A = this chain, B = another copy of it.
Amino acid sequence: MALASHHIEALGAILGPQGLLTAADEMAPYESGARYDRGRAAFVARPRTTAAVSEVVAYCTGNAIALVPQSGNTGLVGGSTPDESGEQGILSLDRLRATFDLDMDNRSLRVDAGFRLSEINARLEPHGLFFPVDLGADPMAGGMAATNTGGARFLRFGDVRRNTLGLKLVLSDEAGTVIECGSGLRKDNTGPDWKQLFIGTGGAFGIVTECTFSLERLPRQIATAFLVPRDGAAVAVLLAEMEERAGAYLSAFEGMSGVAIRHALAHAPSLRNPFPGGDVPGYVILVELSRSWPRRKSEQPLDAVLEELLGDIWEQPGGPLHDAFVGAAPEMWALRHALSEGAKSAGYVVGLDLSFRRGRVMRFRDEMAAVLAAEFPEVEICDFGHVGDGGVHFNLVMPRDPDGGVDLDLAARLRSRVTDVAVERYGGSFSAEHGLGRRNQHIYDRLTPAKFRHMATSFKLATSPAATGAVRL
């Protein structure tokens, strides 16, 4: 159902040339998400400034036109795409690209929502700085804040929340009210830290148009190794040992199941099998040490440090380490980054983005192996993830039918079964870093206590009563 032509004209007048898309081919890239989701839009509005975002929001609120905010559209849970009605407009932030204000003294960056992570880091590189949220995807700043993305260096640098010093937002109310929460201060206890409620809530309370991020110095020395733990219980011990010996050097501790590694090696022939005799262990940790300065002459090379401390762990009688291989970081990370595509090549992936207290990850994994073998014998566990901070991308690979089809009912039952055990029995999270969206809204609705839902409704009324995006709190 197309939008009435007077609305199109009014929005076009606010947005100017190229600011409003209504042709099917122009809208298509905005209508589909990175993985599963696909909808139909009434229009795509592409404002260039926060003031224009405000005008669009005010117009749409006044005329009961639904708007779905979207920035890089790289999310995995359907948090930034319209539904299938064709009645929702997309509010794209991809032309919000005027502000890029680097404060070297403060080690911070004020940046418009439409800059991609890769662009931000390319511009910061000559200054020796980067925004330390390390992801497989390439989101835009606004969506990173709205999703609170984590990534592979969370253990060292934390998530977007930890590295955000301020946000500018447009509220979905009649005026399209603009607010600024924080402005680059590192400490400020003069009232509620409101920006925290806009981080990770997918635009439900307000649309992020500008972020002030804290930056970190680029790593200048890196050493990596594959560690083979003695058994599942040894993973937490290895993590504690590495933290004890490497402290703030430790910048990644990533778990990779042997199944995931084998699929990646089969799918990407350019990868070398790094294990002796090609014999992939059942579980492998990718560990990384890094330092943010060039090596001083008086300093031992970082790979020698890593070898030395792995040697110390190795020598412990009954210690957690079965085997270890120090090697080149690019090659080791290439294998890690190939795991996701490898899983997809093996069948239909039911991807669960879980997290636990750190000591519970491997116990959950062991229990699920037994449960799935009994109840879903056709499913293969192909997990990997950020076990150093309790995260695990618990991917379940289902075989496809001969015609390529998938038993979606089985997939739904599988997803529910595993999610319930993770949340209810292990106190885990059903969305560790992917956030909320159409794909997991029903889990939020089912598992969120009534008091928290009431708090969310109240806060939405106080901020964005007219919000109609893909995330509903």
Please list the residues of chain A having a beta carbon within 8 angstroms of any beta carbon in chain B. Answer: 103-108, 128, 147-148, 150, 154, 158-159, 161-162, 177, 179, 183-194, 196-197, 199-201, 205, 217, 236, 239-240, 243-249, 291-293, 296, 298-300, 304-305, 308-309, 355-360, 386, 389-391, 427-436, 443-444, 447-449, 451-452, 454-456, 458-459, 461-463, 473
**Across the interface, do A428 and B199 meet the contact criterion of CB distance under 8 Å?**
no
**Across the interface, do B186 and A456 meet the contact criterion of CB distance under 8 Å?**
no
**Across the interface, do A462 and B473 meet the contact criterion of CB distance under 8 Å?**
no
Contacts of A158 in B (CB 8 A): 162
Contacts of A293 in B (CB 8 A): 244-247
* Contact A451/B193 with A293-B245, A458-B458 known, Cβ cut-off 8 Å: no
Pick from B128, B148, B296: contact of A308, CB under 8 Å? B296
Pick from B299, B304, B355, B456: contact of A187, CB under 8 Å? B355
**In the bound complex, what is the Cα–Cα distance between A249 and B246 (angstroms)?**
12
Question: Could you list 4 further interchain pairs (A-B, Cβ under 8 angstroms) beyond the known A103-B357, A185-B429, A455-B459?
Answer: A192-B197, A217-B247, A244-B293, A298-B304
Closest partner residue, chain B, to A248 (CB atom): B248
* Contact A459/B192 with A357-B105, A427-B183, A429-B187 known, Cβ cut-off 8 Å: yes
Closest partner residue, chain B, to A440 (CB atom): B190
Within the oligomer, what is the number of copies of this chain?
2
**Across the interface, do A159 and B187 meet the contact criterion of CB distance under 8 Å?**
yes
Pick from B188, B194, B199, B244: contact of A455, CB under 8 Å? B194
**In the bound complex, what is the Cα–Cα distance between A96 and B189 (angstroms)?**
25
**In the bound complex, what is the Cα–Cα distance between A300 and B240 (angstroms)?**
24
Distance from A152 Cβ to chain B, minimum over Cβ atoms (Å): 12
**In the bound complex, what is the Cα–Cα distance between A389 and B106 (angstroms)?**
8
Pick from B103, B189, B243, B432: contact of A189, CB under 8 Å? B432
Interface pairs A-B: 9 shortest CB-CB:
A105-B359, A248-B248, A196-B196, A458-B462, A247-B292, A188-B429, A106-B357, A105-B236, A187-B432
* Contact A448/B191 with A296-B308, A390-B106, A390-B186 known, Cβ cut-off 8 Å: yes
